[in-house]
Amino acid sequence: MSQTKKISSALISVFHKDGLEPLVRKLDELGVVIYSTGGTEKFINALGIPVIPVENLTEYPSILGGRVKTLHPKVFGGILNRQENESDVAEMKSYNIPQIDLVVVDLYPFEKTVSSGASEQDIIEKIDIGGISLIRAAAKNFKDTLCISSMEDYDEVLALISEKDGGTSLDDRRRFAAKSFNISSHYDSAIFNYFNAEEQIPALKLSELQGKKLRYGENPHQEGFYYGDFAGMFDKLHGKELSYNNLLDVDAAVNLMNEFREDPPTFAILKHNNACGIAQRNSVKQAYVDALEGDPVSAFGGILICNTEIDAATSEEIHKLFCEVVIAPSFTSEALEILKGKKNRILLVQKSWALPKSTVRSCLNGALVQDRDTQTDSEEKITHATHNIPTKMELEDLLFASKICKHTKSNTIVLAKGKQLCASGTGQTSRVDALRQAIDKANSFDFDLNGAVMASDAFFPFPDCVEIAHKAGITAVIQPGGSIKDELSVEYCNENNVSMVFTGVRHFKH
């Protein structure tokens, strides 16, 4: 039997009718016998195209409020029979079962119903049974049956059968079978995750319907992919394709700026997932200028992000710097014209988008999953550990530094002054090393640390860090607290007029 098959009959049962008409008209033009159900049958009838109700085929009505329509041997026999198998062909003839060469299904919108906040009864009713069964059957029997499981594929199928006069090759059918199992497995994962939000079965189901191959992974010798709806979160206005490393930096930038989304103009510059500059000012231009001042060397080739619209004046300053990506809620037309002056510079408009509630990363032969760290240190949550209380400005700087610290690789120390990052020690094996790195870096860029504040992502087991910081000019410290030796650091601060506050929350980031 030839691997190329011509479609002679089709079963169409879809929830959404958008884009279906051209495909149905083409099938009719090709002389294809069409079977259908419920609303889809009425839709096709309204087009003036002959259609046979499934009930006529099964000789059984739609029952249980439409829950059972296509679940019948005459439907699934027509889909699952093996046309090269003599026994199957004989049984088809014996039971008067027609061959079905094409199945077109669009499933009930389960995920949209869940996200709409609908009642559980409505959600359960949107668990498709017949449709998912049709997809699995048709995709399994791809040798003989073409399965279309998404309205997004209608145009491709229309072009295919128009070009091949209603025919499909085995490769065509196998490709659409793979697409169909992608749809069905994603659908089942969504249903499981809905139920498991309450049941907490220790199992992980991740599914993304969209993805793209990247130029390469973290390094050129590694293959890389991105899976997710990037266009749902950003409008890409200009520039080259984002790389694997770009995407990691964009993720870090978005998470950091999420801490400042309701604040005055705040600008951050990131490199290798860490902020090398960040400042908050009355104007976005000044916020950028002062963020760049934090580390103009590391800023080269960095990722820029701000929490407000970028104007022309700011763009003129940014344009002087080689940077990979610029992210903002919006750009003025003048700003875009300036920033597009570098053809490869990536410009992204960040849309309003809720970040996932959990984070996932590969680990050993499995995965680690945890709640996203959504706790932001605030004045209401801190406790004063020392006799000396921070001034209003110091407290603002402490909370500013704490937000940065939360999004910097551990072990980390962040030094800030006047809502500007002076320096940070990142990813060090000891907190002392992180502090010394931060002090050395701040001094190398001529920051005056007298009156600056220090944030730590975890507690101080010994007083060495507060002593080193005090001698460098630090006057206030924010840290989680919780060490059995907290009192040693507190005593040093009390004796040397340094204020210290505890947050009670550790922010490790590995």
Q: Which residues contact 402 (CB under 8 A, 6 or more apart)?
A: 377, 414, 455, 478, 503, 507
CA distance 443 to 462: 24
Q: If you compute the radius of gyration of the chain from its CA atoms, what whole number of angstroms results?
A: 31
Tokens encoding 461: 């087991």
The catalytic position among 26, 140, 340, 381 is: 140
The one-letter amino acid code at 280 reads: Q
CB atoms under 10 Å from CB of 14, counted, come to 22
CA distance 496 to 475: 9
Tokens encoding 433: 């090393």
Q: Which residues contact 235 (CB under 8 A, 6 or more apart)?
A: 348, 349, 351
From residue 73, alpha-carbon distances to 11, 61, 210, 306 in Å are 14, 14, 34, 60
8-state DSSP, 355: P
Q: Which residues contact 43 (CB under 8 A, 6 or more apart)?
A: 17, 20
CA distance 286 to 272: 24
8-state DSSP, 242: P
The catalytic position among 205, 238, 272, 342 is: 272
Residue 140 annotated among the catalytic residues of the structure: yes
List residues with catalytic annotation: 140, 272
